[in-house]
Amino acid sequence: MSENSITKVVVIGGGYAGASAANRLQQRDDVEITLVNPRPEFVERIRLHQFVAGNYDAGSDLGTVVGERVRVVVDGATRIDTGSRTVELASGSALDYDYVIYAVGSTAATPGAVPGATEFAYPIGEWEFAGRLRTAVAAMPSNGRITVVGGGLTGIETASELAEAGHAVTLVCGGRLAPTFLEPARRSLAKWLKKNGVEVVESLRVAEVRADVVVLADGSVVPSAVTIWTAGFGVPELAARSGLRTDKLGRLLTDETLTSADDDRIIAAGDAAAPSGQPLRMSCQAAIPLGVQAAETVLSRIAGDRPAALNIGFVASCVSLGRRAATMQIARKDDTSTKYYVGGLVGAALKEMICKGTVSAIRKEARKPGSISITKGDGNRPAQAEFEREVITHS
């Protein structure tokens, strides 16, 4: 501990996991909480497709999302020095810590392996990328076609939102449409896309991206005034750069209490965590309870108690289809899909409740630390998804 029995905790990352963790730490008055984030905004990442289409502002002042006792430092973390227990910042300064909560999140995919993709395709998965893409979409010719690369949930939501806004859209899946969904839910997606004029190229991959066309693997060409790349995610290299063990993608390796395999002063949360080398699906559905769990691990250590094991499960995968429809694929706790789904207007209403409830839950935690309930486990995960149930019930 630091002088005067104050424990210094540095939370790296101000997304869903980091904000939730910082707010949860306010349960103890003897904890000094510093949140490091590269931008002053809290970004509703699950709304970036709406931001690009011009119907939602996905950024808000980070100070309105975290509690009064959380000090926000707008800077980038460049290295964690575990020897001196400092977090080095891009500005050249450093922060002392007793514990670090590593919540750096995930990054947009880097399509460098496809010729021309880096030069001509726009990622969407981060705030700054989405801003540039929004500008490009607004400036394109009225008769221009948009090509969205990636048949996962981000690609489907992006294609749907832009189609509903009146754009001509081609969705190149590079495999199956919504590969994690079962056939009944997948058919509902395909039906909406066809009805709303989205041209779906399911099996072919992109071979090359040019300034005004996308070349497919069979040599065919798709006109493309703007190409959007949604296929895959990465994670920041901070953990590896700090000498900490990671999985192949770069997520911090932890035990089931989210504690680093190398240093019990570093606790991970969100997309950049790999508990027991078996990370949960990258999603805000997992990020918020992981952030809460990480904070509880730190609080347990401060109190001299044994931290609880991870105990988080899933309920569903949700994909919006513009503003008036959505498909919710119901899942088992281990995130495998069941034969059940909810679609149409009902699905849209549920999806919107979840999106609104996500931020509401974090803000409630800021005002009343401890308000987000999680089920403490014994290491046998997954068990329950209490957070997702609360969002649906109380939104």
**DSSP state, residue 36:** E
Residue 393's pLDDT is 33
Q: How far is the C-alpha of 80 from the C-alpha of 239, rounded, in Å?
A: 8
With a cut of 50, which residues of the chain have pLDDT below it?
Answer: 2, 382-395
> By three-state DSSP, how is residue 148 classified?
strand
In the chain, what is the straight-line distance between the N-terminal and C-terminal CA atoms, in Å? Answer: 39
Residue 34 belongs to what H/E stretch? strand 31-37
Q: How far is the C-alpha of 79 from the C-alpha of 243, rounded, in Å?
A: 9
Residue 379's pLDDT is 53
CB hemisphere CA count around 18 (13 angstroms): 32
Q: What is the full DSSP assignment across 326-386?
A: EEEEEE-TTS-EEEEEE-HHHHHHHHHHHHHHHHHHHHHHHHSTT-S----BSS----B-H
Residue 249 contacts by C-beta under 8 Å, 6 or more apart in sequence? 234, 235, 274
Domains of the chain in sequence order: 3-106+235-394 (3.50.50.60), 117-229 (3.50.50.60)
Residue 391 belongs to what H/E stretch? helix 386-394
Residue 143's pLDDT is 93
Global pTM?
Answer: 0.92
Cis upstream peptide for 275 (omega within 30°): no
